[in-house]
Amino acid sequence: MGEKMKIETIMSKDLIIGEINQKVSEIAELMKKYDIGFIPIAQNKHLIGVVTDRDIICSTFSSELDSEAKIERYMTHNVLSIDKDESIENALKKMGQEKVKRLIVSDQEKVVGILSLSDIITSEVDNKEFITELKKIWTIHKNIDEFHTEVDEFYL
């Protein structure tokens, strides 16, 4: 492949950033308006967490969601980032190790973008390890103790 492609060549640069004092309903409205499922959360111009549509949905259906609560209650505080000059292959490996679909991209000082699996999938990356890393990211840990489903008959 020659020189490795850098993250900054394919990352999303138009960021929608939420603020720590925003309500869950406001963050959900941003997700709907911009058709996105991931929003970094900032406090005083410092990134302190991220929230996904899945975070909100899972809380909603487990009856734990208070749409008037501050987003901090539902966000993930462990922000995973990578430098914009890293290779896409290194980003993919990190995603596989951490089992995440998105990474915050920085220039060692500030946030400059977001790299998602869809950015990688639609790029020109040609790497044998790609499928292996994708499998790591989407590994499903089956819970065989609590749920048993039997399939009888389904019709179309």
Distance CA 64, CA 74 (A): 10
Determine phi and psi for 124, rounding to 5 degrees. Answer: -95, 20
Name the least confident of 93-97, 116-120, 126-130, 143-147: 143-147
42-72: pLDDT as tens digits: 998 889 999 999 888 887 776 676 878 888 8
pTM value is 0.74
